[in-house]
Structure 1
Amino acid sequence: MMEQPFFGRRLKELRTERGLSQAALGGGEISTGYLSRLESGARQPTERVITYLTTQLGVDRSAFESPPVGSSLAQALSIAASTDSDEAMENLAAVLGSAQKESLLQRWQALWLISRYRRRRGESAEEQACLEELARLSEELALPELRCRAWTQLAQCLRSSGDITRAIGIAEKAYRLAKDTELTVHDVAPALLTLVALEVEAGRLPDARAHADELVPLVEGRTDALRAEALWAAATVRLRHGDYVAARQFLEQAMTELDSRIDLILWVRLRLAAASLYLQLTPPRTELTAECLSQVEAPLSLVGTPPLRQELLLIEALLAFQEKKFDEARALHDELSGEDLRLTYRDRIRLDILDSLLLILEGHREDGITALKELGEKAQQMSHIDLSAEIWRVLAETLVTLTGPAATASHGGGRPS
């Protein structure tokens, strides 16, 4: 049975898996506006449209049929908890949407699993909706562990979408609750990790440094993902302080200590973070960036989610820019811009900075400079003080390069953050 919104989510998934834009999929038969409404669940597909889409995507119509809904939330929850399949998670979401009398604890657990599934797929709006409801349920349940975890995850989601002001308030609540109720390191450390990241974004570097220095000893002696993320957080703080040596040491220690068998996705993310860091050194260590990117190619074929693959493309574009391969950088930028972006707010800004610098190189100086100014003002308005400062730095360097005596049309004009 073709039911919305499952049909729309499945259509979008199949289209993006094949690297097709809405225009490419629609061809001359279906408008992009109609496809967009199908994917959002606002329109029900006709038989003619279903036949056309199955042919274009090379799938059977069963690929669009809604999975059978479990008879109870408990049943759907048990199935989803024991498998990583998308079908089980979509079924759980469908069952939860129609559930009425199930226990609050079952609803909480279902929302927790669904929110993680949405995060993995880069579906930020859907993830935030789950986490908002999760936080509300946590208040009703009044269990400090569940409240702390819901707040921590909601703060992380808000950070990814760029809502720093609200995110930092929620992260502070999670951390205070974890400390006041003497929760274990499994709750205190994630709350601290989230708070440190937000304090860095908000430009509260002394607070971030103090909390990072509290976090690292807290996970001393561990060999799990929590330890690696703590070292990564410490590296981020040092990087924002301009201490590139210490930042590199912390990040390389995290990469050395984390076994890929413990958490392959985190293993990949650490190397992408290192690749980005090496581009920010003076001078940029492009050979180390290239080495990190080569290390993640094979793992990404196994665990590559849309956000991870897009992050890889972004770093490849920034690397091409540093190597003065401007045509390649533009091609990679345009490839990313043509996709359904799943990047974090910060990475979206980095992509926009790259576009501005490429515009300047391509002869559109005023457009590029204006775009950089607008990015800096927007980041400042949204309380991204650290990011705003980075944009103004890039703009200043660009203006100096353009007006200096050695300015020519052949040089880079600035360094993307």
Structure 2
Amino acid sequence: MLEQPAFGRRLKELRVERSLSQAALAGKEISTGYLSRLESGARQPTERVVNHLVRILGVERSAFDTPPSGGSLAQALSLATSAEGDQGSENLIAVLAQVREESPFLRWQALWHISRYWQRRGERAEEQACLEDMVRVADELSLPELQCRARFQLARSLRSTGEVSRALDLALNAYQLAKDAALDLPDTGGALLTLVSVEAEAGRLPDARAHVDELVDLVAGRSDTLAAEALWSAATVRFRQGDHEGARICLERAMKELDSSVDLTLWTRLRLAAASLYLQSTPPQTERGRECLQEAASALTLIGTPVLDQELLTLQTQLAFHEGRYADARRLYDELNRDELRLTYRDQVRLHILDSRLMILEGREQEGIRLLKDLGEQAQQQSNIDLAAEIWRILAECLEDVGRRRTAAEGA
């Protein structure tokens, strides 16, 4: 059997030489997620997959035995940072896997670029492995700026996959580094943003509120991306504290103050966040949620990524459910689950909550109730206290609804 990671590096080079996207090479035989893992060396190829790749690439099997041509890290980094699309990033990954003696500064820059590539694609495991390497290189260089940035980026990634405890340690460390070294606002603000999000995820809402208020004070008078993200974080904390009106004011202010020409991706994400807030309100504000999703969908035709596309489809599924279009909600849910989910841990849990509620409405009551119980226990084990509380509340409401329907049926 062909050995990794040499196979993956050679596969990537053959694909790039032929100007093939991962989707084109994967075809209908394999998923792009699996192909990405092959190229990164994370998965071993099977005979069936190798035969498929040989056929599409138009090469002999022996082509995989040829070592990749490589190139200097500086050259690959220059090409990646100046290229459109992801082709340069994929070549950079292959080159970085080969070099050993390059400058640690160059290596850190390459890792930073590659981590962004994995983040856009929603490949959490690959992103985290890259960020772990960044932390090691930053510590080797002993530069507080790089140590802070690497730590808060890794903390963000870990939070998105539900690894809250370690994310909290890293976020606190990043913030302490920023304070001790009196780093500039972008680094201090980035560390604070991360700390707030992790504390909120861990259910440490008083700490999160104190830190987000500090952050909002730091960015007062600004109308850039950091200010918009600070207001978004303030909205998140207020919402989880039960202050839905305060959350709405913060988020709508962020949307108003950030122009799409400054950062279209953040502009779009704010509208997805607002739609989520409106749909989680009691009662759900479906009309306002729909408006935000329509705006986001228009922007995603220009800057869509696999992650953002899945977030949009997830919220469209939630909207259909809250509007009572249960058949549409089930269809959209099934469409989502045909692909590898790239959502954050919290969004995946919310999606599974919706699945369980649909099961109950479809007459699969015991199956739906059992799924809700499993989700609640999992959230508790992950220390997501407020998420666990939300799940237990929904379970209680579902049990009450099931009881009412049974009583009504018996009375009839």
Q: Distance in 2 between matches of 1:358 and 1:170?
A: 38
Q: CA deviation at 1:283?
A: 1.7
Q: CA deviation at 1:84?
A: 3.9
Q: In structure 2, what is the equivalent of residue 256 of structure 1?
A: 256
- The worse-fitting range, judged by mean Cα deviation, of 393-402 and 153-162 is 393-402
Residue 127, structure 1, aligned to residue 127, structure 2 = yes
Q: In structure 2, what is the equivalent of residue 49 of structure 1?
A: 52
Q: In structure 2, what is the equivalent of residue 292 of structure 1?
A: 292
Residue 146, structure 1, aligned to residue 146, structure 2 = yes
The runs of 5 or more residues in structure 1 that have no matched partner are 55-59, 410-417
Scaled by the length of structure 2, the TM-score of the pair is 0.88
Structure 1 residues 163 and 320, CA gap change in structure 2 (3 angstroms): same
Query: CA contact under 8 A between 1:401 and 1:407: conserved in structure 2?
Result: no
Q: In structure 2, what is the equivalent of residue 160 of structure 1?
A: 160
Q: Distance in 2 between matches of 1:315 and 1:118?
A: 23
Which of residues 4, 7, 31 is equivalent to 2:8?
4
Structure 1 residues 137 and 36, CA gap change in structure 2 (3 angstroms): closer
Q: Distance in 1 between matches of 2:73 and 2:116?
A: 18
Q: In structure 2, what is the equivalent of residue 368 of structure 1?
A: 368
Q: Distance in 2 between matches of 1:37 and 1:103?
A: 27
Q: CA deviation at 1:42?
A: 1.6
Letter in 1 for 2:360: I
Q: Distance in 1 between matches of 2:393 and 2:11?
A: 46
Q: Distance in 2 between matches of 1:137 and 1:349?
A: 34
Q: Distance in 1 between matches of 2:309 and 2:143?
A: 37
Scaled by the length of structure 1, the TM-score of the pair is 0.87
The runs of 5 or more residues in structure 2 that have no matched partner are 1-5
3-state SS of the aligned residue for 2:207? helix
Q: Distance in 1 between matches of 2:265 and 2:408?
A: 42
Letter in 1 for 2:28: L
Q: In structure 2, what is the equivalent of residue 99 of structure 1?
A: 99
Q: Distance in 1 between matches of 2:10 and 2:98?
A: 14
Query: CA contact under 8 A between 1:69 and 1:91: conserved in structure 2?
Result: no
3-state SS of the aligned residue for 2:329? helix
Q: CA deviation at 1:262?
A: 1.0
Q: CA deviation at 1:3?
A: 5.1
Structure 1 residues 31 and 374, CA gap change in structure 2 (3 angstroms): closer
Q: CA deviation at 1:92?
A: 1.0
Residue 237, structure 1, aligned to residue 237, structure 2 = yes
| TM alignment of 1:267-346, pairs within 5 A | 267-346=267-346
C-alpha distance after superposition, 1:389-411 (max 9, x if no partner): 111111111112222379779xx
C-alpha distance after superposition, 1:21-51 (max 9, x if no partner): x8x923xxx999x989967652277885246
Structure 1 residues 147 and 359, CA gap change in structure 2 (3 angstroms): same
Q: In structure 1, what is the equivalent of residue 3 of structure 2?
A: none
Q: CA deviation at 1:85?
A: 2.8
Query: CA contact under 8 A between 2:9 and 2:68: conserved in structure 1?
Result: no
Q: Distance in 2 between matches of 1:158 and 1:274?
A: 23
Q: Distance in 2 between matches of 1:35 and 1:109?
A: 25
Q: In structure 2, what is the equivalent of residue 204 of structure 1?
A: 204
Query: CA contact under 8 A between 2:268 and 2:299: conserved in structure 1?
Result: yes
Aligned-pair Cα RMSD in Å: 3.0
Q: Distance in 1 between matches of 2:167 and 2:50?
A: 44
Q: CA deviation at 1:221?
A: 1.4
- The worse-fitting range, judged by mean Cα deviation, of 249-258 and 392-401 is 392-401
Q: CA deviation at 1:119?
A: 0.4
Q: CA deviation at 1:218?
A: 0.5
Q: CA deviation at 1:7?
A: 3.5
Q: Distance in 1 between matches of 2:402 and 2:393?
A: 14
Q: Aligned residues: percent identity? A: 56
Structure 1 residues 407 and 131, CA gap change in structure 2 (3 angstroms): farther
Q: In structure 2, what is the equivalent of residue 394 of structure 1?
A: 394
Query: CA contact under 8 A between 2:70 and 2:98: conserved in structure 1?
Result: no
Q: Distance in 1 between matches of 2:359 and 2:46?
A: 41
Q: Distance in 2 between matches of 1:74 and 1:31?
A: 32
Q: CA deviation at 1:280?
A: 1.6
Structure 1 residues 53 and 386, CA gap change in structure 2 (3 angstroms): farther
3-state SS of the aligned residue for 1:342? coil
Q: CA deviation at 1:79?
A: 1.6
- The worse-fitting range, judged by mean Cα deviation, of 73-82 and 178-187 is 73-82
